[in-house]
Structures are given as structure tokens and as C-alpha cells.
Chain A
Amino acid sequence: MSGQELVFRTDNLTKVYQTGEVKVFALAGVDLELFSGELAVLLGPSGSGKSTLLNILGGLDHATDGRVWFHDLELTDLGDRGLTRFRRDHVGFVFQFYNLVPSLTARENVQLVTDVARDPMTPEEALERVGLSHRLDHFPAQLSGGEQQRVAIARAVAKRPEVLLCDEPTGALDSKTGIQVLEVLKHLNEELGTSTVVITHAAEIRKMAHRVIWFQDGRIANTEINDERLEPAEIDW
């Protein structure tokens, strides 16, 4: 399924945290290519640098060294303004904690994005795609965790981003709800062709990916391509 066109490319990407005397290499030289339409799963022990990579790819954080390209756009050259623009136009994020605006309804949370995007779907369509047509006017506090995460996904994909970056999207959910969320992600990846990166610590989830990338100590330890993918419903974790 993975197309040939490159979406992200990194070259010797490095991130160093200096805490007092100690230097922590969160990323110690990562060379990675991600392709259009691909669904990649990032696996690895806690502290191995997965989130750091995702944040840099999404334009939330700056690398200490090395370079990142989004197509021909070099992210490592951009300032705050350019990165904001980049996030606004091209990236959708999903986090473990849903980060919905509590004072806005599901529909309005999605509208936050569709009001300013270039070619968005309607909020109703986005919420329909995650199976929440019946919850349009509910506030986050009136929704279950899984529902809130699905609103967050609807909000992330409503602008038809080229990439969707998910950092432990099922981390706060029980497995049944988690599967629903993964189904939504897979479905969107197939329907919209959105390149998707999913970080998880549940190794079983790797079975739904096109490609699996293993992290260890700030480096890519291994990558593997699934010839056969499982449906989320078939995954058991």
C-alpha cells in the first residue's frame, strides 16, 4: 500500500536535553523516510525518543542537530511562525490526553479547525467519519473517553491533513474502546490517504501497520514491513 512519494525525510536528526551536568540524547541521529499514504507504527521502550521524533516531525519542537524535510520544505529552517503555518496546513495531531476545549461542543471543537483551514470537510462530515453524528452538540464532559478521543481525531482530520501524528492515542483507553479508535484511524488512512504515524507501547498494534519502526536509545533499531495486516478488531492486547 505504501506509495513511492516521500512525505517526511530526516537526516541525522538529533535532540539533546541538557539537564544540569547530564546530557540526554533523546534522539541520537535518526535517518527516516515516511511515504505518502503509509500507516507506520512506532514501537520502543519508554524514553527511547518516539515522542520527541513525532513532535519534531509535527513542528512542535526543534531539533538540536540534523535536518527534517516535509516534501521540499525544510522544517529545520523554519521559525515559530513558519512552523505554526505548517501545522495549520498539513498536520493533524492526536494525543493520549484528548485536549479538547471543554467549553466547546464536539461540533465546535471541530469547527475550531475547519473555520481556518483551506479545504476542510464540514464538522458534521468529520464527526460522521468517526461515528459520532449523534453527539454533535455534546460538550466533552458529556462524552466518554473513547468518544472524546474520536472527537479529537475528527478535529485532527477535518482539515484533510497530509499527515496524522498520533502519540499513544489508545494509551488512556480500555482495549475495547481502543480498538474502535484504531479502526477509525485505519479507516481514515484508507479513505483519505492520510499518511499516519502511530506511537504505541502495545506491541500487538504493530500488526495493523504497513511498516513498523522500532526505537531504542534514540535510534531506529529496526524496521519491518508487514506483508499481511490485521484488522484492529483481530488484534488482541
Chain B
Amino acid sequence: MTTVEALDRKLLRDFIRLWPQFLAISLVLAAGVAVLLMSFGMSAALEDTRKTYYERNRFADIFVDARSVPISFVEIIRRIDGIEAVEARVTTFTTLDIPGKIDTTVAYVASLAPAGPVLNRPTLRRGQWPDPQSTGEVVLNAPFAEANDLWPGDRFTATLNGVKRDLTVVGWALSPEFIYTIGPGSLIPDDEDYGIVWMPERALAALLDRTGAFDNLAVKLRPSARPKPIIDMLDQLLEPYGSWGAIGRDEQTSNAFIDAEITQLRALAYILPPVFLGITIFLVNMVIGRIVALERAEIGLLKALGYSDIAILFHYLLLAGLVAVCGVALGYAVGSWLSYGLARLYADFLKFPYLIYTVSWNAYVVSGLLGLFAASAGAARAAWSAARLAPATAMSPTAPPRFRRNWIDVALRRMHVSQPTMMILRSLIRWPVRAAMSVLGLSLAVAILVSSNFFPDSLDLIIDTGFHQSNRQHVVLFFNDTMDESALEDAARLPGVLQVEGQQYLPVILRHEHRQKRAVIEARRPGNDLSRIVSAEGEIVDAPPGGIMLSERLAAQLGLAVGDMVEVEFLGNRKGAYDLPVTRLVTQYFGLGAYMDQETADRLFQQAPQVSVINVTVDPARNAAFQAALKELPRLGGRAMMVENRRGFEETISENILVSTMVYALLGILITVGVAYNGARIQLSERARELASLRILGFTRGEVAYILMGEIMLLALIAQPLGWWIGWAVAKLMTDSFTSDLYAIPMVLKVSTFSSASLIVLGAAMASVLVVRRRLDRIDLVSVMKTRE
């Protein structure tokens, strides 16, 4: 047996003897590695899949909606420098009548070019493409068809240009343009009540009187072209045709949602793994430090036997290396599994036709190296001090820890603290860095729980103000054109209708100084009861007459304050630019709201009162009759069921939240166990003798355990307020960073969020020290006393 082998043997023995401690550390490290792999793996998979999908199906770069633009424009636009391809389509919103389904369904109907689309090409999933010459054959987007059980060969009716048409499903398709399909007035995808219908161009144009014209344009740019000037050019060209303005990919709804998902996944990789790696460093440092302290005499002996400093250094680094290997291996296993599994789930959820999952070796290499680095960084100090130990010093016992009396002792004496409590406090004061690091570690566990748990409460608030308080209507009726107010009376006469209220949506461009922003102004009567403007503070507000009211977010983006003048250019049916004063600001969670008093709008346009949206409440008992009547309404462009929107939102969200809450709870527990268990084990190792001597003096097991457990639990208690604070700060950071054009996440931190985080961490800490307490209970008093300190 060579000497190296002997040292290796000792290494393995140490590792096996201390396995629970090393396991606890490995788990913390594994969590860091797994989260890193997962977030990189998933975001890369989503991005790659989306990229491939976009390329293969030629997803456009610029999108614009207008009304009945002469087809001659296509040629003009195609010649614009920087444009590679153009796809012009006839499009409309419509209501569908699906046999056997009571509720009306909204659909976006888009034409299919006779030779097949050159841009935003749908991928056929089932059945076949419609015959370009056919009049009633359509392809549906697959999730919608599946949700409504509409198979190739099935028939349904659509109201097109005021006339009900019989249509036949011939196929199912997926399109990169509609990965997220969100109906007008909705907030989340709802496959059952909103779908996409593709129809041959000839038939659709004939039905909508659009022969020789188009409504929707998609543009693909040459790789070198910049979108901004082309968007401006398109806006100029199409402005006379009621264009709402051209948008780039960043504003395309479907694409913007996926961007947000990928950003959030990426963010995970930057927030969590550093926490886990940092805690790994601390734990390895603590444990290896203790081992070196215990093995001083052996180290001296080894050196006396002729082992080099380097050999000793590597011996302890290697021990940490074993921990790293275990942690990284475990992290690889869990991370790969999670990464692939979740990417699959995501791809399914997003209805990608396929998943491109290429294993990112980089992520493995980076996370593996980080794991090794964390473990060696943790062991470095102790290993170095072992290597530097002179044999003579090593063989003599360590100097006992030096305690000194200071002002704190005087204070404690005054408070008549019991001696066991004094022992706890002195130990904290004697090793302040270790105590501080433990507190920090435990507080990070609390912070992870607080900052992940605040989300459901925030969503509750969004749902409450966004749905329950603002939108009290059952159904929103959208029309393709504005109508005069007599439409309200027609709606009121529909069966089962209890209340009706009108609103008008006016697409505009707002300009202030050099800034401009596209928005939709809601013109509404003061005192509306169904659709209300509720501020973030819960106040119900109306737009004051004589100007426009803006949401704070929109005002901030335009640099506007109350009293400033803003240039409002109306798009769509109402043309013209006006300078209007900002009369009020309102804080809101959702959207870039802009509001106007209906009478002010009417005076501005010198028109009779108009509506484009009608909010309705319906007697639930007569809902079927109401829905049946709706399907007959000729000009109804869309319809959103508020009641269902609410339910859908809550269901989608709460499922996701349950899973993620559990994952974060697990992460918090891993950290707590890592810190508390190792802390207690080291306490026990350092104090075994002291605690045994107390037992000999007649202290009971419980009294002695108090000293061991008290210190860790005291640290855990101190960690709570710090953890709350860090959690609060992280939550704040997250809400700030998630705030986008679409919404702001309010920070709702309830007492229960803090208390449940604390309960979990204190519970896990308690369980960890109780496991160590069992060792203490079994300690052999006699043999401890026989050995020298």
C-alpha cells in the first residue's frame, strides 16, 4: 500500500463518515446547478424552436391593419427599398355559430393567397388545404378546432358581411403569427371562444366585397433593413385607409408574449443560482474548516511522515471536490430532466408544432465549473491553513478559544440571563462571521419564499381590480364599425338583457415633444356602472370633460403631466389631429389607458353620439336565448365573455402558481436544511465535551439540547426580519422589471406571505436540529470525559 493510497483511503472514510453533512451541501449545490441548467435549457429551447419556426414559416417583420386598401398598393410597397416580400390579406372579425354550442364564438378570418401564402405560412397539422376555387372550405387553427371538436368534414356557420355562411372544415393548421391567440378584449388565450379561420382569398374577398382590395399586410424585410423608416413609410401610405399604424415584431401580440416568457426564464438563471453557489461556499468553508481543526494532530503526523504541503492542500480540496462532484452530478440529473420536461410542457402549452431541444453543452460546462469553483473556494481557506500548519504546532493542542468580557456581558448580567443562554450568546459573539453568514443564508431562504409567494396575491389584486371591480358586465359586444346610439336600444331589446352601456374605441397616435405613442382612447359617459375605470388605489374615476385622461404609465412614456397639451391624431374612421389638454392621470395595473368624455368626443367630431362597444348584463336564466339572438346580429364583430375570461385567467394562473410555489418552497427548505443541519452538526462537534459535562452536572437531555438547538434557532429567528426585507426588495425588483407596456404587477405583500415563509424556514430549521439532537441524546458521557480536550 503506497502512501498516496492511504491518504485517499482517509479521504473516502471522511466522506462516508460525514455523509449527511456532505449530502446537505450537495443538495444546495445541486439546486443551483439544476436551476441554471433548467432556465438556460428552457429559454434556449424556446428561442431555438421559435427561431426555427419563424424561419421555416417565414414569419413577417412588420404588420399593419387597414381597411379595403386597393391591391395596387402591394406592388408599390414591394418596391420600397429594404422590403423582401409582402403578403396582403383580406381579414375580418366575425362571430361563429358552432352546432351544439350555446355560446357565440369569435373568430379572426384571414384569406389564403391562391398560390399559398409567402409570409406567415401556416403549417398543416391535419386534413388538407382548401381548394383555392372553393367557396365554403376553411382551415382552422388547431387548438381552437380541438377545443371545439371541429374535425375535417364538420360544418359550422359564420356571419360574414351580415350574412350567415355555411363553412366546412377541411384542415387544421398552426401559424407562427398566432402562437398566442388573444381575442379582442381578452387578456389570456382562450382556445374555446376565440379562433383563427383561414379561407381561400377568392371566396373571402367576394363575401366581404374586397375583390381587388386588402385589409392586412405583412412585410418581410431584407436582413440589412431597419424597420423604423419602413414603418413610417407604411403609415404614411396607408393612413387614408384607416390604418391603426404598422407595428414591428416587438409589438406583435403573439411574439411579445413569448418574448416576455423567455426573458423571465433567463432572469431565473441570474437570480437563483448565485444564491445557491454562495451558500455552498459558506457551507463547505464551515465543514472543511471544522474537519481541519479536528484533524490537526493527524495533519502534523502526516507532515512529520514527510507528506508535502501540496499533498495536504490537495487532500482537503479533493474532499470538497467530492462534494462538488456529487452536487453537480445530482444537479445535472435533475436539471436535465426538468429542462427537457419543462421545455416539452412549454412547447405544448404554446402549441409549437415541434420542439427544437438541443442540449446546450455550454450550460453544462458553465454550471459544472461553477459548482467546482464554489466547492474549492469554500475549502480553500481551510485547506490552505492545513497546508501551512507547522508539524510541531499541529501536534500540540489548539489554544482554547479566547473569550473576553465586554460591555455586552455587563448588559446580559443585568438582565439575569441563565448560564445556558449565556453560552449561546457568547458563542455568537465569539464567531460573529459564522453567525452572520448563517443568518444571511437562512434569510435568503426566507427571501426566496417571500419573493415567490407574493405573486399570487398580486394577481388576486389584478384580477379584483381588473375584472371584478372594473368590468362588471357579463358580455362585451364589439362591432366592426361604429354605430349611432340607437344600437344601444337594439341591444337592450335582446332577450334576457338587463342593462346596457355604450362605449367608443378611438385609435390614436399621441404626440408630445419628440415622443409619440399609439393608443386607443375610450370615449365613455360619466357614471358608467358596468365598465368602470378603477384606479390602483381602488377609486372609481371618470374622464373630466374638455380633454383626455391618461394612465400614469402612458403619461410617463410621453413625458406628460396634468395641464400639458398633447397632440391627438385620430386614426381609423375619425380623421384629424387636435391639441387636447391632459385633464387627469389615473394609476392602473393594466395597459396604456386613455380616456375621454363621450360628449367631448362628440363635440370634437361634430357628430351624433356613437358607440363601437356595448356592455351588457344578462339574466343567467335566459342566457341561451340571448346567445342565440346574438348569432343573428349582423354587424357584431366580436364578443368577449367577461365571466369566462375571469375563470380562464384564474384557472391558468392558479395551476402554474401551485407548481412554482412548491418548487420554491423546496428550494427554501434545501437552503435551510443545508445551513441549519451543518450548523448544528458543527456545534455538536465543537461542544460535545462541554455539553456532556453539563449532563454530568445533572442537566437533562432537554436542557442540554436547548444550548445546541438554541443557537441555531436564535440565528433562524434573527434571519426572519432580514429575510422579509430581502424578500421585499427582490419582490420590488421583480415587479419593477416585469412592468411592461401591457401591465404593471402591483406588489401585494400580505402578513400571511411573510408568516408562511417564516413558518416553513423555522420548521425546516427545527427539523434539522432535531435530527442532530438525536445524536446528542446518544452521546456516551463516560467516553467523552476520558479524552483530553
The contact string, 1 if C-beta is below 8 Å from chain A, for chain B 775-789, is: 000000110011111
Whether B698 pairs with A105 at a CB distance below 8 angstroms is no
CA distance A102 to B642 in the complex (A): 71
Which residues of A have CB within 8 Å of B426?
A: 103-104
The contact string, 1 if C-beta is below 8 Å from chain A, for chain B 470-493, is: 000000000000000000000000
Out of A81, A89, A102, A109, which one reaches B700, CB within 8 Å? A81
Question: Nearest chain B CB to A116's CB is how many angstroms away?
Answer: 7
B17 sits at the interface (CB 8 A): no
Whether B698 pairs with A108 at a CB distance below 8 angstroms is no
Whether A141 pairs with B400 at a CB distance below 8 angstroms is yes
Which residues of A have CB within 8 Å of B427?
A: 103
- CB pairs A–B below 8 angstroms (23 shown): A60-B781, A84-B695, A84-B701, A85-B698, A88-B699, A95-B785, A97-B785, A97-B789, A99-B690, A99-B696, A101-B694, A102-B400, A103-B403, A103-B423, A103-B426, A103-B430, A104-B426, A108-B419, A109-B419, A112-B694, A112-B697, A113-B697, A113-B698
CA distance A52 to B695 in the complex (A): 17
A129 sits at the interface (CB 8 A): no
B418 sits at the interface (CB 8 A): yes
Whether B400 pairs with A60 at a CB distance below 8 angstroms is no
Known contacts A61-B782, A101-B690; is-contact A89 B698 (Cβ 8 Å)? yes
Whether A104 pairs with B419 at a CB distance below 8 angstroms is yes
Out of B402, B404, B788, which one reaches A97, CB within 8 Å? B788
CA distance A97 to B696 in the complex (A): 13
Which residues of B have CB within 8 Å of A115?
A: 418-419
A135 sits at the interface (CB 8 A): no
Question: Nearest chain B CB to A85's CB is how many angstroms away?
Answer: 7
Which residues of A have CB within 8 Å of B789?
A: 97
Which residues of B have CB within 8 Å of A87?
A: 696-698
A49 sits at the interface (CB 8 A): no
| CB contact list, A110-144 vs B, under 8 A | 111-113, 115-116, 137, 139-141
Which residues of B have CB within 8 Å of A113?
A: 697-698
CA distance A115 to B404 in the complex (A): 22
A67 sits at the interface (CB 8 A): no
Whether A102 pairs with B403 at a CB distance below 8 angstroms is yes
* Residue in A closest to B418 when the chains form the complex, CB atoms: A115
B401 sits at the interface (CB 8 A): yes
A55 sits at the interface (CB 8 A): yes
CA distance A55 to B695 in the complex (A): 13
Which residues of A have CB within 8 Å of B423?
A: 101, 103-104
B405 sits at the interface (CB 8 A): yes
Contacts between chains A and B (CB distance < 8 A), count: 85
CA distance A155 to B786 in the complex (A): 19
14 further A-B contacts with Cβ under 8 Å, apart from A61-B782, A101-B694, are A84-B695, A84-B700, A84-B701, A87-B698, A89-B698, A91-B698, A93-B696, A97-B788, A99-B690, A102-B400, A102-B401, A112-B694, A139-B404, A141-B403
CA distance A137 to B410 in the complex (A): 11
Question: Nearest chain A CB to B308's CB is how many angstroms away?
Answer: 34
CA distance A216 to B773 in the complex (A): 39
* Residue in B closest to A141 when the chains form the complex, CB atoms: B400
* Residue in B closest to A172 when the chains form the complex, CB atoms: B788
* Residue in B closest to A111 when the chains form the complex, CB atoms: B419
Whether B697 pairs with A88 at a CB distance below 8 angstroms is yes
B689 sits at the interface (CB 8 A): yes
A224 sits at the interface (CB 8 A): no
B661 sits at the interface (CB 8 A): no
B666 sits at the interface (CB 8 A): no
B422 sits at the interface (CB 8 A): yes
CA distance A62 to B782 in the complex (A): 11
CA distance A116 to B694 in the complex (A): 12
Out of A60, A139, A155, which one reaches B782, CB within 8 Å? A60
B458 sits at the interface (CB 8 A): no
CA distance A96 to B697 in the complex (A): 15
The contact string, 1 if C-beta is below 8 Å from chain B, for chain A 63-81, is: 0000000000000000011
B693 sits at the interface (CB 8 A): yes
* Residue in B closest to A103 when the chains form the complex, CB atoms: B426
Does more than half of chain B's interface fall in helix, strand or loop, or is it mixed?
helix
Which residues of A have CB within 8 Å of B399?
A: 141
Question: Nearest chain A CB to B730's CB is how many angstroms away?
Answer: 36
Whether A137 pairs with B405 at a CB distance below 8 angstroms is yes
Which residues of A have CB within 8 Å of B403?
A: 102-103, 139, 141
Question: Nearest chain B CB to A94's CB is how many angstroms away?
Answer: 10
Q: Which bracket fits the contact residues of A?
A: 35 or more
CA distance A70 to B789 in the complex (A): 31
Out of B401, B694, B785, which one reaches A141, CB within 8 Å? B401
Whether B689 pairs with A99 at a CB distance below 8 angstroms is yes
* Residue in B closest to A167 when the chains form the complex, CB atoms: B785
CA distance A159 to B403 in the complex (A): 26
* Residue in B closest to A113 when the chains form the complex, CB atoms: B697
- The 7 tightest CB contacts between A and B, nearest first, are A88-B698, A99-B693, A103-B426, A87-B698, A112-B419, A141-B400, A139-B403
Question: Nearest chain A CB to B283's CB is how many angstroms away?
Answer: 24
Which residues of A have CB within 8 Å of B696?
A: 58, 60, 87, 93, 99
Most buried by B among A61, A112, A115: A112
CA distance A60 to B692 in the complex (A): 11
CA distance A103 to B686 in the complex (A): 12
CA distance A91 to B781 in the complex (A): 15
CA distance A97 to B784 in the complex (A): 11
Known contacts A81-B700, A88-B699; is-contact A140 B400 (Cβ 8 Å)? yes
Which residues of A have CB within 8 Å of B695?
A: 84
* Residue in A closest to B423 when the chains form the complex, CB atoms: A103
Most buried by A among B400, B404, B430: B400
Which residues of B have CB within 8 Å of A89?
A: 698
Which residues of A have CB within 8 Å of B401?
A: 102-103, 141
The contact string, 1 if C-beta is below 8 Å from chain A, for chain B 674-714, is: 00000000000000011001111111110000000000000
Which residues of B have CB within 8 Å of A58?
A: 696
Question: Nearest chain B CB to A24's CB is how many angstroms away?
Answer: 14
Question: Nearest chain B CB to A106's CB is how many angstroms away?
Answer: 12
| CB contact list, A148-199 vs B, under 8 A | 155
| CB contact list, B575-617 vs A, under 8 A | none
CA distance A205 to B698 in the complex (A): 29
Which residues of B have CB within 8 Å of A60?
A: 696, 781-782
* Residue in B closest to A85 when the chains form the complex, CB atoms: B698
Which residues of B have CB within 8 Å of A55?
A: 782
CA distance A95 to B699 in the complex (A): 17
Which residues of A have CB within 8 Å of B689?
A: 99
Which residues of B have CB within 8 Å of A51?
A: 782, 786
Known contacts A99-B785, A139-B404; is-contact A104 B422 (Cβ 8 Å)? yes
CA distance A203 to B524 in the complex (A): 109
Which residues of A have CB within 8 Å of B699?
A: 84, 88, 116
Question: Nearest chain B CB to A161's CB is how many angstroms away?
Answer: 10
Which residues of A have CB within 8 Å of B422?
A: 103-104, 108
CA distance A88 to B781 in the complex (A): 15
CA distance A85 to B699 in the complex (A): 8
* Residue in A closest to B425 when the chains form the complex, CB atoms: A103
Question: Nearest chain A CB to B684's CB is how many angstroms away?
Answer: 15
* Residue in B closest to A93 when the chains form the complex, CB atoms: B696
Whether B701 pairs with A80 at a CB distance below 8 angstroms is yes
| CB contact list, B384-412 vs A, under 8 A | 399-405
The contact string, 1 if C-beta is below 8 Å from chain A, for chain B 375-390, is: 0000000000000000
Question: Nearest chain A CB to B65's CB is how many angstroms away?
Answer: 76
CA distance A87 to B690 in the complex (A): 17
* Residue in A closest to B693 when the chains form the complex, CB atoms: A99
CA distance A81 to B422 in the complex (A): 25
Whether A116 pairs with B698 at a CB distance below 8 angstroms is yes
CA distance A155 to B701 in the complex (A): 20
CA distance A81 to B698 in the complex (A): 10
Question: Nearest chain A CB to B395's CB is how many angstroms away?
Answer: 18
CA distance A96 to B459 in the complex (A): 67
Whether A141 pairs with B402 at a CB distance below 8 angstroms is yes
Out of B405, B700, B782, B786, which one reaches A105, CB within 8 Å? B405
* Residue in B closest to A110 when the chains form the complex, CB atoms: B419
